[in-house]
Amino acid sequence: MHYFLANGQELIIREPEPSDAAALLNYFQQAVQDSDFLMTTPDEARQHTLRTEQDFIRSFRAHPYNLYLVALVQQQIVATLSVTRGNRSKIEHTAEFGIAVIRPYWNMGIGRRLMTQMFRWLSSHPQIKLLYCKVMANNERAIHLYQSFGFVEQGRLSRFLRQPSGEYVDLIYFTKWLDESIIP
């Protein structure tokens, strides 16, 4: 899919290829440097290798009920979205998603466009009935985005995450039942 950002730059959203692994590795390491809102720390991200990224891409491509999208601006990966379906029979009607955008591209609508693309994909995967995500309670932009798509807070784990600074942060679970209109 092709879009244009408010600044006139073209945004391309597509599934990654194994050949994108090096660019994804660079993106991932930048994303965790840019934000404390991700679960991975910069030290943990440095342990990822080109092979790790290639295997990650292949694992998504091999599973028809998982989705992995990259968003590119000027051929640079600036954001990703992943959807992972539950892998046990009692939870195979569920899928968890996550989004990350590198800081220079925050507040440009890229997360919203990725989510719109995700809902289009979900419309052809009716086996997935419940979509959920986890978000840090201090990530107000993400919370607002999820709520604008009809996600509802389902639970909060108080002081669940400990940031490298030592600060504790609540983790919130958001869910959306997909029985209603699939595309908001």
Where along the chain do its domains lie?
2-129
The CATH number of 2-129 is 3.40.630.30
Strands 76-85 and 67-73: antiparallel
- At residue 39's C-alpha, the angle toward residues 159 and 176, to 5°, is 80
Q: What's the pLDDT score for residue 183? A: 47
pLDDT digits (tens, 9 = 90+) for 49-104: 899 999 999 999 999 999 999 999 999 999 999 999 999 999 999 999 999 999 99
pLDDT digits (tens, 9 = 90+) for 19-48: 999 999 999 999 998 888 988 777 878 888
List, in sequence order, every beta strand (DSSP E) within the chain: 2-4, 10-14, 67-73, 76-85, 94-101, 130-136, 152-162, 168-177
Please tell me the pTM assigned to this model: 0.91
If one compares 105 and 183, the residue with the highest pLDDT of the two is 105
Structure tokens at 26: 């660079």
Can you tell me the distance from the alpha carbon of 102 to that of 107, in angstroms, rounded to the nearest whole number? 10
pLDDT digits (tens, 9 = 90+) for 110-151: 999 999 999 999 999 999 999 999 999 999 999 999 999 999
